[in-house]
Structure 1
Amino acid sequence: MKPARLAVLAIALAAGGAAALLMSGEDKPVVQPAAVAAPPPPVPLTDVLVAAAELPMGQNIQAPDLRWQPWPNDALSAGYITRTNSPKGMEEIVGSIARSNFLAGEPIRPQKLARSDGGFMAAILPAGMRAVAITIDTRGSSTAGGFILPNDRVDIIRTYRDEEASRGGGGSDSQGSETLLQDVRVLAIGQVIQEKNGTNIVTGETATLALTPAQAELVTLAQKGGQLSLSLRSLADSGRSNDASLEIRPESALTVVRFGVAKQQSRR
């Protein structure tokens, strides 16, 4: 066979193979570029003065206890201290006393602070109430074993010598007890540091209670004629009314003498 014919035959075979390959192949899908989502608009922020760490009630606030933290404008409250409105807010707060606890990151509000140049007890005392300190047992037997802390709620129990039982033949050391007041808030537990066997031991000598003026008179008088003890209340019982069994009885009264005039007053 002549070379020319061989060349023509080879070209024809190559063309046929190429055509068959093209006919058997599938079209590849066209890849569309992924849509790029638009970034969300930035959230407007304002620097707010917050507690850098947990601050307990009575803490004298210093500069390391505070920091500026970006806060969403939609979540701002009128009581917050912002860098925009108070550029020197941190310097003004330093030296104040916390009237209640602050959590770490909680905004600082002036309503929860007291000035350091004023009395702390007067700052945390509710309006219309009086702070009265009573003597308690240093061994803790009259304060629930020493587990009563500030802001706890307690009942005041009075232990006294029962004169009527003694005259009735019950013995000269007849004792009686009764619940004087219920659901009383403890403002503070006085602490005294004593040394024992080379170790400093902290004991409570007094308990300061928040009382109404009438209750303050009653407790002060009761402390003169007997011993007062504190009974710790459960958190679930806080704010509940007095038990029916503790209703005022005619015989449960103290004799109050004012300006030479004796007057019977309920012990409740």
Structure 2
Amino acid sequence: MSPVRLLIVLVAAISAIGLAVVLQRALGGKSAAPAAMAAPAPSPGKPMTQVLVAKRDLPIGTRLVAADVTWQAWPSDAINGAFITNGAAPPKPDGKVDAAKAAVAATADQMIGGDPAKVVEGAIVRDPILTGEPITPRKIVRGGEGGYLSVVLTPGKRAMAVQVTSDTAVGGFILPGDRVDVLMTHDVQASGSSDGAAAASRAVVAETVLQNIRVLALDQSTAAEKDAKSIVAATATLEVGPVEAEALARAKAAGAVSLALRAYTDLGGPSGMTSPVAANDTTVRINRGGTTTSVAVRP
């Protein structure tokens, strides 16, 4: 090998060694090859907890079975205390697990055993639950705690049935969940005089007994079938208070009862008894400042 070629080889070798030293220092004392293979581990995702959710839309009155629910991963930091979980206690913000919650979760795990059927089998839905919505005790009533009507009744209310026909129930367009007024129609005797001779005649009087009353069921149907627009029924079950129940019983005994459908927007309006108006009273409407008031005037 000539001296010139030998010199070129030595310069190349020294340059390679120098480049390796520079790279080693730049990479923190590690060789380039191992650093390229040991990629940083991905940061772990959010802690997740299995939450019991609805597998399909569950309307009021549904008696639950295991096929209606499923487990779904839920961010542990977003777990509500009312959710039904698989027993895993969600961590606190500092990453630690609260001992008390862990104990409760362990007890729940023993009760549930990871089987959704053991949680909800036989329970009745009291408020609608949408697909994917967590199951909470507030929205269901466990089996044996009451039948359908006693479950969906508002606390303090009563359920009473009235006979209806297509004529007295808006042609069948009243459906469970609607709001109605209850009207009573009956005959009264009107007395008058003509040339000193007493004459008796009959008059028909209609009066609103109850207003804005919730319809619980029609016959045994607690909900209209899908896409159904009407139900022709023989009885309508209404939700009333104790005083309204007495008024409804008197109305049923005194004459024919009809239902008048209320607008959906009346949901939050006054509900219950209406002010009684005597048969010989005249109703005068007074408009004052844009507000209309009805006043009964007796001659």
Task: Please tell me the TM-score bracket, short chain as reference.
Answer: 0.5 to 0.7
Q: Distance in 2 between matches of 1:235 and 1:161?
A: 32
Once the two structures are TM-superposed, the CA of residue 217 in structure 1 deviates from its matched residue by 0.5
Once the two structures are TM-superposed, the CA of residue 162 in structure 1 deviates from its matched residue by 3.0
Residue 133 to residue 176, structure 1, CA distance change in 2 (3 Å): same
Q: Is residue 124 of structure 2 the alignment partner of residue 134 of structure 1? A: no
8 Å CA contact 2:164–2:258 kept in 1: the answer is yes
Partner of 1:223: 252
Partner of 2:208: 179
In structure 1, the residue corresponding to 2:190 is in which secondary structure?
helix
Specify the code of the residue in structure 1 equivalent to 2:66: A
Q: Distance in 2 between matches of 1:252 and 1:108?
A: 56
In structure 2, the residue corresponding to 1:163 is in which secondary structure?
strand
Once the two structures are TM-superposed, the CA of residue 38 in structure 1 deviates from its matched residue by 8.9
Residue 222 to residue 105, structure 1, CA distance change in 2 (3 Å): same
Residue of 174, 185, 206 corresponding to 1:148: 174
Unaligned runs of 5+ in 1: 1-35, 193-201, 254-268
Residue 115 to residue 205, structure 1, CA distance change in 2 (3 Å): farther
In structure 2, the residue corresponding to 1:238 is in which secondary structure?
helix
Once the two structures are TM-superposed, the CA of residue 115 in structure 1 deviates from its matched residue by 2.9
8 Å CA contact 1:191–1:205 kept in 2: the answer is no
Q: Is residue 124 of structure 2 the alignment partner of residue 97 of structure 1? A: yes
Deviations 1:154-201 (A, max 9, x none): 1111111233379996855x4221111111111111149xxxxxxxxx
Once the two structures are TM-superposed, the CA of residue 135 in structure 1 deviates from its matched residue by 1.1
Q: Distance in 2 between matches of 1:188 and 1:161?
A: 30
8 Å CA contact 2:189–2:200 kept in 1: the answer is no
Partner of 2:14: none
In structure 2, the residue corresponding to 1:217 is in which secondary structure?
helix
Partner of 1:53: 56
State how 1:194-209 maps to structure 2 within 5 Å. Answer: 203-209=232-238
Q: What is the TM-score when the length of structure 1 is the normalising length? A: 0.67
Partner of 2:80: 77
Once the two structures are TM-superposed, the CA of residue 126 in structure 1 deviates from its matched residue by 1.4
Partner of 2:47: 44
8 Å CA contact 1:114–1:120 kept in 2: the answer is no
Partner of 2:68: 65
- Which one has a bigger Cα radius of gyration? 1
Partner of 1:125: 153
Percent of pairs identical after alignment? Answer: 37
RMSD of aligned alpha carbons:
3.0
Residue of 112, 116, 135 corresponding to 1:108: 135
